[in-house]
């Protein structure tokens, strides 16, 4: 290939790399928009939960006030109940503000005027688990990885190694959607566990045999190859983090759901015992706070699971 042809090929590769960068930016915006939607759902539910909290504490205050009128509760109990009512009023205003800000962020990302009228209050289904045996080649279409490969071509138009020959092939997830051991082995072994490791490392290690073919003598080509390797490793790190979080967040959500069930039962028993004069109001208020804390944690964990699914889709190059 002549110098002129090589320059044209390099320009074409640089142009294609820029297009891949643009595609990566579009995927990032799509992911941010999805995450903003889930943030708005969570903020809406937290606002509604704050209203429920106020209603619950107001009901408890009314109960204590009736007992105070009958002489079976003292002023201290009434003040404790009133404190939680006023705190709940403060909380509901903070939640309204957070919901409105989440709505404005989503409106901005979708190209609308950033007012607070946008509504979102329902979660999609999360019943489907992450599939086992996702092929690593699914990530080959990630725009940043494609751009890194194209920059190898732009650095040296004599490079003949195909993108598929540089990219590792193995299963990203093992049974039950857990991380494949190959992912952790990859980072531990400095690429030597890759079935095609020779294809990736040969350009800078095998001397003269492929020096001209792969541009090993060209410092820019070597730098572009190193950048490609770094991009691929970073991509696998993002996937492994998302897969790991998927498992941990699911377990957290399940445990929090059980905690909420127990807190509801404890609250019901505490209210009955207080009405019978067997418990102090402080215990009743504490059980109610625990119940609402568990409900709030459940909303936050569900949001985190959806956020993580978006991160996983983006890491796999599937955030459209």
Domains of the chain from N-terminus onward: 3-120+138-315 (1.20.1600.10)
In 3D space, the residue among 255, 292, 294, 287 whose CA is nearest the CA of residue 269 turns out to be 287
Length of the chain: 320
Query: What tokens were used for 229?
Result: 């390797």
Q: What is the pTM of this model?
A: 0.81
Q: What is the pLDDT along the chain (320 residues), one digit of tens a residue?
A: 554 555 556 678 888 888 888 888 888 899 999 999 999 999 999 999 999 999 999 999 999 999 999 999 999 999 999 999 999 999 999 999 999 999 999 999 999 999 999 998 889 887 677 776 777 778 888 899 999 988 888 887 666 667 777 777 777 775 555 566 655 554 444 433 333 333 334 443 343 444 444 444 467 777 888 888 889 889 988 988 998 899 899 999 999 999 999 999 999 999 999 999 999 999 999 999 999 999 999 999 999 999 999 999 899 887 66
For residues 149 and 166, is the Cβ–Cβ distance under 8 A? yes
């Amino acid at each position: 290939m002549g110098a002129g042809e090589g320059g044209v090929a390099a320009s074409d590769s640089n142009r294609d790399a820029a297009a891949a960068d643009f595609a990566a930016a579009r995927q990032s915006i799509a992911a941010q928009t999805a995450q903003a939607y889930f943030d708005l759902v969570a903020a809406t539910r937290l606002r509604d939960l704050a209203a429920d909290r106020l209603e619950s504490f107001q009901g408890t205050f009314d109960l204590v006030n009736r007992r105070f009128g009958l002489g079976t509760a003292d002023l201290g109990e009434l003040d404790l109940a009133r404190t939680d009512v006023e705190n709940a009023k403060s909380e509901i205003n903070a939640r309204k503000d957070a919901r409105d800000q989440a709505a404005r962020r989503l409106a901005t990302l979708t190209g609308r005027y950033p007012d607070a009228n946008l509504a979102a209050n329902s979660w999609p289904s999360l019943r489907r688990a992450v599939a086992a045996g996702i092929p690593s080649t699914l990530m080959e279409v990630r725009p940043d990885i494609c751009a890194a490969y194209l920059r190898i071509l732009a650095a040296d138009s004599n490079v003949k190694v195909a993108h598929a020959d540089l990219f590792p092939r193995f299963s990203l997830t093992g049974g039950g959607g857990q991380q494949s051991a190959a992912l952790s082995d990859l980072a531990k072994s400095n690429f030597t566990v890759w079935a095609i490791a020779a294809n990736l490392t040969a350009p800078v290690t095998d001397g003269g045999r492929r020096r001209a073919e792969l541009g090993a003598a060209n410092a820019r080509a070597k730098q572009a190859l190193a950048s490609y390797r770094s991009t691929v490793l970073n991509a696998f790190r993002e996937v492994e983090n998302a897969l790991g979080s998927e498992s941990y967040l699911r377990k957290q959500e399940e445990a929090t759901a059980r905690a909420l069930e127990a807190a509801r039962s404890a609250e019901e028993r505490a209210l009955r015992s207080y009405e019978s004069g067997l418990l102090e109001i402080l215990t009743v208020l504490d059980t109610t706070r625990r119940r609402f804390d568990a409900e709030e944690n459940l909303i936050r964990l569900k949001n985190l699971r959806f956020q993580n699914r978006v991160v996983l889709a983006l890491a796999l190059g599937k955030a459209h």
